[in-house]
Amino acid sequence: MRIERRDFMKMLGGGALMLGVLPGCKTAQVVGLGDLSDAAFTPNAFLTISPDGRIVLALNKAEMGQGVSTGSAVLIAEELEVAVEAIEAVHVARPEFESSLGEAALSEIAPVGMQITGGSSSTPENFVPLRKAAASAREMLIAAAAEQWKTDKSACRAEDGHVIHTDGRKLAYGALAEAASRQSVVDDPPLKPRSEFKKIGKPVVRVDARDKATGQAKFGTDVKIEGALRAVVIHPPQLGGQVKTLDADAAKRLPGVVEVFAFERGVAVLAEKYWQASAAARVVKVTWTEGVVAGLDSAKLEAAARKQSKEKGASRVKNRGDVDGALSEDGVVTLDVTYEAPYLAHAPMEPMNCTVHVQGDRVKVWCPTQSPTIVAEGISRLLGLKRADVSVDTTMLGGGFGRRGVPDFAVEAAMIARRVDRPVQLVWSREDDMRGGYYRPAVVARMRGAVAGGRARAVHYHGVSQSIFMDQSPFLGALFPDWMPSLAKRMMLKANVGFVQAGAFPDFLATEGVADSPYDVEDFRVEYTPVRTGIPVSFWRSVGHSFNAFINETFMDELAHAAKQDPFEFRRAHLTNAPRHLRVLEEAAKLGKWGAPIEDGWGRGIAVHKSFGTFVAHVVEAGVVDDRIRVRRVSSAVDCGLAVTPDLVAAQIESGIIYGLSAAIDQRLDLVDGVVQQGNFDTYPCLRMHESPEIEVKVIDSDERPFGVGEPGLPPVLGGLSNAIFAATGVRLRSMPMQQAWDRRKETT
């Protein structure tokens, strides 16, 4: 039986209040936007036009480099008939909104529901609401001008930030702001048809480009609050360890050091400046108790998972036909292989940081977060407050990738701030970030398949991994309304987690990208077994797609070779009911010169995958040079529906490719006796500029509604690389990181 995400959430019994939030990371609109001044025009929660002509867009999404501020500005500019650069995009705070607008600052935004940025959902969620917001403002401005001119609205039009009469008279939006604010709100304004778009679908300069280039953009570490202390935390080497003994005498004598104390998460060192706190932390002497993962080795975990993958799965996510019967038929060629992917860190360029000021029963937070609602929930639970008592000002994010959807670093800052009478800015080091938990789960998947007559006859997937849903359950209280008692939230979440643990409900995040495989295979089964290890896991860029695309697309390649078929043609033959998959596959093959001669030592691999509503195919050219995996070119085709900002779409596909290749080739986290071995980019390397391939992206013109692109570029590059290495060398690499798999294979031979 096919279970869609939304239907799955509806089945969670007592978790009905989650509906419409988690499945698509839905964000309810905000209400109560105050005025820039008494004469400002604020037709809705998103948009304000001041008498001096300023147009302020209140972003309900976090800008973390993906271009959401620019894409949102384009949607507003299209319907409001202004230049994109005329839009001033600022983050919405929760529950207060503050900007640099002086005494006329916007204030008192109170979000209804959950604010979160993730799941590549920003563009599809905002495509209609933002256009309606701008179109409503446009119609009210036109009505105000018509009233002033004592003429019919049909004689007026909006153009270039003005309302223009057919006789040539015109009024700027700023001049009409006060009058427009007295007009009745237009709830269902007419939206432009696509044939009239002037800005949507066209190249655009990013609205945040100048601020970033000049250093004016405000990230979390740029927050400067008068009187704030800087905090560094000495974390236990094993996750969950506690302080046994503490000697901080030498540290307290150093310049600028204000206080050193043990708390739930380690040892806090507070000083007037960050480097003073950092220097003091190096001379603190601490001994620790064992943590929750003491004795745990990732190598032993992988071995146990491989063994478990040979058993029956805890739950059947999908079961079509008779897989066991097909695998045992006479005349079929069968495969039985195992794929592995390791724990991965998110490693955003800006490490975790947060500034918190606890003022009695009110808390003010400045945080680079993907979800101010989750931050507010976590801090309010810690301090025994209502969520509405925690105000979160979202700064720009120096990368997110899902890591900033977890509030642990913000809660840690609040734990420290409640102990002092001053604001506290907590900054993690890179090592804190990489060893502090919340990783992409490791996975082992057994794949069985059969081919006959040149086609795939059966496919069986059994994945063994940690459940993100179960590990993230402590933070899912943010999905519930503030008035619900904490005990009720915990009971409902515990019940839902129990269903997944028992196999009564599958974790859709663990099998996405394979359970919804587009390939036409008659007998098909997907099983999943969750495991619990004590290692905290969370959403990583493209979530379950990040490993399942590697598994599914590499296995399709193996089936093609078992069937003695060209991998591209084999996929085409199995995509007869998936026209959008087929289109990007064919476009990528053309772009990547599939079938053309290639030099010895180099090969082409192809892969296609849909995630978050967007279809992407890659042709990867790669080889092994001096025992080092090299990728020299990636040709990509993407169908994300209507591309609001095609150049930003291409940029995000490129970003996903580089991020994915870094993980595929070199990155992994190893635990020995519960201690993460990697700590910085010397042991967790990213693809360097001289190693980066030439990338060509074709954005396919589409009449379909738009979908997000922050994550979909990553999944298919993993399988594409694996398949390219096989084409180049004849060696099948079934585990990541592939460089380690190549070296291990060389050592054994």
Same domain? 156 vs 234: no
Would residue 432 count as lying in a domain? Answer: no
The answer to whether 422 and 396 are in contact (CB under 8 A) is no
Residue 16 has pLDDT above 90, yes or no: no
Burial group, residue 26, by CB count within 10 angstroms (0-12, 13-18, 19+):
middle
628-639 and 614-625 beta bridge pairing:
antiparallel
Domain ranges, residue 248: 228-295
Same domain? 712 vs 581: yes
State the chain's mean pLDDT as an integer.
89
Domain boundary among the residues 214, 241, 257 is at 214
Residue 494 has pLDDT above 90, yes or no: no
Residue of 415, 408, 470, 413 whose CA lies nearest to 433: 408
**482: confidence class by pLDDT, cuts 50, 70, 90:** low
pLDDT (0 to 100) of residue 114: 72
Q: What is the CATH number of the domain that holds 369?
A: 3.30.365.10
Residue of 459, 458, 467 whose CA lies nearest to 528: 467
Residues in the chain: 749
pLDDT (0 to 100) of residue 676: 97
Q: 589 in helix, strand or coil?
A: helix
Domain boundary among the residues 214, 238, 271 is at 214
> Residue written as tokens 């959401």?
68
Residue percentage of the chain with pLDDT more than 90: 83
What are the tens digits of pLDDT across the range 283-295? 999 999 999 999 9
Same domain? 242 vs 333: no
Q: 178 in helix, strand or coil?
A: helix
Residue 102 has pLDDT above 90, yes or no: no
DSSP 55-91: EEEEESS--SSS-HHHHHHHHHHHHHTS-GGGEEEEE
DSSP 375-401: HHHHHHHHHT--GGGEEEEE-B-S--T
Instruction: Count other C-beta atoms under 10 Å from residue 130's C-beta.
Output: 26
pLDDT (0 to 100) of residue 38: 53
> CA-CA-CA-CA torsion for 156, 158, 162, 163, nearest 10 degrees?
20
pLDDT (0 to 100) of residue 504: 52
d(CA 452, CA 329) in angstroms, rounded, equals: 10
Tokens of 690: 């001289």
152-161, 201-210, 494-503: range with lowest mean pLDDT: 494-503
pLDDT (0 to 100) of residue 496: 60
Tokens of 737: 């990181």
d(CA 131, CA 140) in angstroms, rounded, equals: 14
The answer to whether 508 and 11 are in contact (CB under 8 A) is no
Distances in Å between the alpha carbon of 468 and those of 63, 306, 473, 475, 497? 24, 19, 8, 11, 10
Strand partners, 343: 669
Would residue 513 count as lying in a domain? Answer: yes
Residue of 606, 600, 563 whose CA lies nearest to 582: 606
pLDDT (0 to 100) of residue 481: 61
Same domain? 291 vs 338: no
> Residue written as tokens 């009505």?
143
Would residue 481 count as lying in a domain? Answer: no
In the Cβ-directed half-sphere of 357, how many Cα atoms lie within 13 Å? 14
Would residue 430 count as lying in a domain? Answer: no
Show the DSSP H helices in 294-429 as ranges: 298-309, 323-327, 372-383, 408-417
Would residue 479 count as lying in a domain? Answer: no
The answer to whether 268 and 231 are in contact (CB under 8 A) is yes
Phi, psi (rounded to 5 degrees) for 543 = 55, -125
The answer to whether 251 and 260 are in contact (CB under 8 A) is yes
pLDDT (0 to 100) of residue 507: 79
More confident position, 740 or 498: 740
Phi, psi (rounded to 5 degrees) for 412 = -60, -40
One-letter identity of residue 343? Y
pLDDT (0 to 100) of residue 106: 27
Same domain? 326 vs 362: no
pLDDT (0 to 100) of residue 497: 59
Q: 507 in helix, strand or coil?
A: coil
Q: How many degrees, rounded to 5, is the angle at CA 331 between CA 327 and CA 336?
A: 35
Same domain? 335 vs 357: no
Q: 344 in helix, strand or coil?
A: strand
Same domain? 338 vs 415: no
Give the H/E segment covering residue 297.
Answer: none
Same domain? 93 vs 114: yes
The answer to whether 51 and 174 are in contact (CB under 8 A) is yes
Show the DSSP H helices in 540-645 as ranges: 545-562, 567-573, 579-591
Strands (DSSP E) found in 432-518:
443-452, 455-466
Instruction: Specify the number of domains making up the chain.
Output: 4
Would residue 97 count as lying in a domain? Answer: yes
pLDDT (0 to 100) of residue 533: 92
What are the tens digits of pLDDT across the range 525-583? 999 999 999 999 999 999 999 999 999 999 999 999 999 999 999 999 999 999 999 99
Tokens of 595: 């079938």
Same domain? 316 vs 370: no
Same domain? 195 vs 75: yes
What are the tens digits of pLDDT across the range 563-577? 999 999 999 999 999
Dihedral sign for Cα atoms in the order 393, 397, 402, 404: negative
Would residue 182 count as lying in a domain? Answer: yes
Residue of 122, 134, 131 whose CA lies nearest to 27: 122
89-103, 332-346, 492-506, 588-602: range with lowest mean pLDDT: 89-103
Same domain? 87 vs 185: yes
pLDDT (0 to 100) of residue 484: 62
Residue 20 has pLDDT above 50, yes or no: no
What are the tens digits of pLDDT across the range 206-259? 999 999 999 999 999 999 999 999 999 999 999 999 999 999 999 999 999 999
Tokens of 186: 């237009």
Domain boundary among the residues 173, 188, 214 is at 214
Which residues, in sequence order, are CB contacts of 241 under 8 Å at separation 6+?
A: 288, 289, 290, 291, 294
Q: What is the CATH number of the domain that holds 245?
A: 3.90.1170.50
Q: 357 in helix, strand or coil?
A: strand
Going across the sheet that includes 602-611, the strands are 602-611, 614-625, 628-639, 694-699
Q: Establish whether the linkage from the previous residue to 111 is cis, with ω within 30° of 0.
A: no
Same domain? 200 vs 123: yes
Would residue 427 count as lying in a domain? Answer: no
